[in-house]
Structure 1
Amino acid sequence: MHGPVSSGWLLVALCAATGAYCLLRMRSRVVEQRRAAGGEALMGFGMAVMAVPAAVFTPPGWVWTALAVVFGGAGLHALWAARTGAGHLHHLIGAGAMVYMAVAMAGPAGHGHGHGGSGTPLLTGTLLLYFVAYVLVAGVRLVPVAAVPGVAEGAGWGDRPELARACRLSMGIAMVAMLLAV
Structure 2
Amino acid sequence: MHGPASSGWLLVALCAATGAYCVLRMRSGAAEQRRSAGGEAVMGFGMAGMAVPAAVFTPPGWAWPGYAALFGAVGLHSLWAARSGRHHLHHLVGSGAMVYMSVVMTVSPAAVHGHTAAHGGSGVPLLTGALLLYFAGYVLLTGVRLVPVAAVDDGPAATGWGDRPELARACRLSMGIAMLAMLLTM
Q: Same fold (TM over 0.5)?
A: yes
What RMSD, in angstroms, separates the aligned Cα atoms of the two structures?
A: 1.7
Aligned pair 1:110/2:109, yes or no? yes
Rounded to whole Å, the distance in 2 between the matches of 1:86 and 1:20 is 25
Superposition map of 1:22-171 within 5 A: 22-107=22-107, 109-111=108-110, 114=113, 116-117=115-116, 118=118, 121-145=125-149, 146-147=152-153, 149-152=155-158, 155-171=159-175
Rounded to whole Å, the distance in 1 between the matches of 2:165 and 2:132 is 25
Cα distance change of structure 1 residues 49 and 148 upon mapping to structure 2, 3 Å threshold = farther
Q: Is the 8 A contact 1:78 1:88 kept in 2?
A: yes
Tell me how far 1:149 sits from its aligned partner: 2.5
Rounded to whole Å, the distance in 2 between the matches of 1:129 and 1:175 is 11
Rounded to whole Å, the distance in 2 between the matches of 1:24 and 1:178 is 25
Tell me how far 1:41 sits from its aligned partner: 0.2
Tell me how far 1:160 sits from its aligned partner: 0.8
Tell me how far 1:112 sits from its aligned partner: 9.1
Cα distance change of structure 1 residues 148 and 165 upon mapping to structure 2, 3 Å threshold = farther
Q: Is the 8 A contact 2:3 2:114 kept in 1?
A: no
Q: Is the 8 A contact 1:54 1:113 kept in 2?
A: no
Tell me how far 1:151 sits from its aligned partner: 4.1
Q: Is the 8 A contact 1:15 1:48 kept in 2?
A: yes
SS at match of 1:143: helix
5+ residue gaps, structure 2: none
Aligned pair 1:173/2:177, yes or no? yes
SS at match of 1:149: coil
Q: Percent identity?
A: 70
Tell me how far 1:3 sits from its aligned partner: 2.1
Amino acid in structure 1 at the alignment position of 2:110? H
Q: For this pair of structures, how many residues does the alignment match?
A: 179
With normalisation by structure 1, the TM-score equals 0.93
Tell me how far 1:110 sits from its aligned partner: 1.7
SS at match of 1:61: coil
With normalisation by structure 2, the TM-score equals 0.91
